[in-house]
């Protein structure tokens, strides 16, 4: 093995300690210089300060996720894995800046094909850091299945909601203005049935997100949302 390959292999096996202040600093600079020429000139810094620490974090999360559910995937590939692309899709929006100014890491269910699948999430940005858990913008079939399960098991759902709120999670996402089609507008849980997302959000300070103890923090917080995730997986028919 060449010296370069040996060094690369050693770096990839390095244990995760923290994302570090350099991650936030780079993302802040990227927000100030969101252009291809700047990013190309600073790509080595992106690799060292953002992507490689993120890959180490993904590897460190593998046993944590296995305890939560053996069907959640920690994939440390640079492209196509748990770390979301830094490049923005500029085809349909007015904002044509080429790069995302946050680090997004999603641990999707093994049966999921995209960000809409059940999963856990870490978001790190210069001015906003949080954990997420659940399903964001599930497709129409999945969303209907979740609503039908809430109607079928209202007491279980209410107990789950009480538990997650007591644990410090808040509910994210959007809701319909009216009752969804084929559901009773007078249902006691109509506010739950109107939801278009089933996302839990827990805010982190920058120090919590980039300093020591992130893996343990994720382990403890994700554990308190476990039954919420189980309910969603059961509803959409995937193993938990």
Residue 120 has pLDDT above 70, yes or no: yes
Q: What is the pLDDT of residues 20-60, one digit of tens each?
A: 999 999 999 999 999 999 999 999 999 999 999 999 999 99
Percent of the chain whose pLDDT exceeds 90 = 87
Can you state the angle between helices 214-224 and 52-68, rounded to 10 degrees? 30
Q: How far apart are CA 155 and CA 57, in angstroms?
A: 37
Predicted pLDDT at 10: 45
**pLDDT band at 105, cuts 50/70/90?**
very high
Quote the mean pLDDT of the chain.
Answer: 92
pLDDT at 208 over 90: yes
* pLDDT reported for residue 14: 59
Region 99-118: mean pLDDT is 86
pLDDT band at 195 (very low <50, low <70, confident <90, very high): very high
Helices (H), 140-210: 140-152, 154-166, 190-193, 206-210
- DSSP, residue by residue, 64-128: HHHHH-TTB-----SSSSSBPPSB---SSSS---SB-SSEEEEEEBTT--STTSSEEEEEEETTE
pTM value? 0.89
The pLDDT score that the predictor gives to residue 5 is 45
Question: What is the Cα–Cα distance from 138 to 144, expressed in whole angstroms?
Answer: 9
Q: pLDDT at position 94, please?
A: 81
Q: What is the pLDDT of residue 13?
A: 55
């Amino acid at each position: 093995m060449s010296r370069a390959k040996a060094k690369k292999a050693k770096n990839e096996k390095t244990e995760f300690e923290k994302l570090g202040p350099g991650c936030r600093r780079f993302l802040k600079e990227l927000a100030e210089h969101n252009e291809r020429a700047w990013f190309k000139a600073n790509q080595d810094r992106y690799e060292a300060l953002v992507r490689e620490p993120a890959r180490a974090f993904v590897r460190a999360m593998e046993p944590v996720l296995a305890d939560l559910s053996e069907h959640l995937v920690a994939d440390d590939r640079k492209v196509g894995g748990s770390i979301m692309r830094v490049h923005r899709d500029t085809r349909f929006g007015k904002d044509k800046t080429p790069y995302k100014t946050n680090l997004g890491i999603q641990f999707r269910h093994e049966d999921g094909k995209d960000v809409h699948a059940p999963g856990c999430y870490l978001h790190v940005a210069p001015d906003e850091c949080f954990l997420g858990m659940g399903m964001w913008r599930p497709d129409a079939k999945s969303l209907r299945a979740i609503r039908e399960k809430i109607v079928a098991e209202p007491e279980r759902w209410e107990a789950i909601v009480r538990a997650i709120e007591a644990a410090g999670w808040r509910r994210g996402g959007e809701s319909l203005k009216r009752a969804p089609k084929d559901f009773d507008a007078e249902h006691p849980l109509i506010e739950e049935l109107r939801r278009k997302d089933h996302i839990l959000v827990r805010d982190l300070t920058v120090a919590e997100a980039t300093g020591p103890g992130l893996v343990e923090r994720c382990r403890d917080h994700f554990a308190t949302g476990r039954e919420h995730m189980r309910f969603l997986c059961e509803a959409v028919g995937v193993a938990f």
